[in-house]
Amino acid sequence: MSLDHLVQKTKQQFTVKFNQAPRWLAAAPGRVNVIGEHTDYNDGFVLPMAIENCTLAAAAPASNGAMRLRLCSGEKPEMVEIPLNGKVARGEPAWANYVRGVIAGFQDLGIQLPALDIFIESDVPLGGGLSSSASLEVATATLLEVVTSRQLDPVQKALLCQKAEHEYAGMPCGIMDQFISVMGKAGHLLLLDCRSRQTELVPMNDPKLSFLIVNTNVKHELTGGGYARRREQCYEAARVLGVPMLRDATLAQLEAAKDRLDPVVYRRARHVIGEIERTTQAAREIKAGNWAVVGQLMYASHDSLRDDYEVSCPELDTVVELARNIGPSGGVIGCRMTGGGFGGCAVALVEAARVEQLTRQITQGYVKRTGIQPSCFVSRPANGARVIAS
């Protein structure tokens, strides 16, 4: 859906729900991570981009003057009431906690909110690995900034949204999703140092290139705490290597310590150390326009996630294999799984002119091999959060 279309839909729905037109409108994008997976909790680098799919948040002053917010989403049409007399607390329905947490963040800053009617609309798929949750938080924060005429510093704003996800939605996420949703810029990726929180916009505006995001539409349940276990293995590797975090280790150091490491822990560390290197290298190669190398780095990232980190799954491997087989002559430059793994999305760097044909080819191949219908999204690196009506 185009942003204009989404804006029109939001205005219409708002008016139906609240019997008045919205006064303020803000948008925040979903995201896809181009490279740098499972590096964030090792103090490493990630290289995401904002996508064209957005969450919109619209508001108007509530007409009856009561000190509460009324909140509604196109995805979850029940009306939610949020009292404003005192600190906002978690509650039901669960989806509203993302919004409650952001409101609480504004309250913590001593910012007084007026009684409001709020409506949320989105074309970021919910739970599809494209970070609808961060886009909801950041759209809400951007809306509250314009409502209260208080502009937050971008880092402070992203951290406020992350805190909402931690404390109100109960999800201990890293900083990537909120940072890219706040700071994304059209025609750029964002190189984010998860240790220092420093960011660098990496230009990527070649009109011949685009990204094809393929949602496998599977989510395998993990037994045995797959995610927590991997974090522990990373910290164990760092201990044996004598470094604070795997960010501080080199592949040479790892090789030298191989005999002292459990073979599984060794492979986990090899992924992380290699992936951090690939991520900073990818940023350099993108700046230089060395697309073939960027593609190779994406495939190397996938292979490492599949073999060393063991977080891929047959469906993700199928998408990447289909893309690899199509290859440069068919318009695919590189492809990898993206996100935590065990399902979710793969991202491919492709020639923009061939994107429709590639979508068909990969969809057909995937359905044939798995019997599952994938969802495909095409996006160029898009803008971060913005105010649409003030």
Alpha-carbon distance of 342 to 218, in angstroms, equals 8
CB-based contacts of 154: which residues, under 8 Å, 6+ apart? 182, 183
Residue 17's binding partner among ligand ADP, Mg ion, none (Cβ under 5 to 8 angstroms by kind) is: none
DSSP letter at 247 equals G
**120 is a site residue for ligand ADP (CB under 6 A):** yes
Long-range (24+ apart) CB contacts under 8 A made by 4-7 are 6/54, 6/56, 6/121, 6/123, 7/56, 7/388
- Other beta carbons within 10 Å of 11: 18
Residue 73 binding target from Mg ion, ligand ADP, none, CB below 5 to 8 Å by type: ligand ADP
Exposure class string for 117-128: b at 16+ Cβ within 10 A, else e: bbbbbbbbbeeb
- Judged by CB under 6 A, the stretch of 119-127, 202-210, 269-277, 322-330 that binds ligand ADP is 119-127
Q: How far is the CB of 72 from ligand ADP (least distance, A)?
A: 9
Q: What is the contact mask toward ligand ADP in residues 49 to 88, using x (rule: CB under 6 A)? A: ------x-----------------x-xx------------
Q: How far apart are CA 168 and CA 265, in angstroms?
A: 33
Q: How far is the CB of 21 from Mg ion (least distance, A)?
A: 31
Helix, strand, or coil here: 220? coil
In 82-203, alpha helices (H) = 97-108, 132-148, 154-167, 176-183
Q: Is 286 in the site for ligand ADP (CB under 6 A)?
A: no
Among residues 166 and 239, whose Cβ is nearest to Mg ion? 166
Q: Which residues in 133-162 contact Mg ion (CB under 5 A)?
A: 133
Question: Of 57-65, 120-128, 306-314, 356-364, which segment contacts ligand ADP by CB under 6 A?
Answer: 120-128
Distance (Å, whole) CA 390 – CA 377: 30
Q: 169 vs 237, which CB is nearer to Mg ion? A: 169
Residues 6+ apart with CB under 8 A from 222: 342
- What does 122 bind: ligand ADP, Mg ion, none (CB cut-off 5 to 8 Å by kind)? ligand ADP
| C-beta of 181 vs 279, nearer to Mg ion | 181
Stretch in the footprint of Mg ion (CB under 5 A) among 4-12, 116-124, 127-135, 245-253? 127-135
259 is catalytic: no
Catalytic residue among 40, 117, 123, 177: 177
Write out the catalytic residue numbers: 177
By CB under 6 A, name the binding residues for ligand ADP. Answer: 55, 73, 75-76, 94-95, 98, 120, 122, 126-133, 136
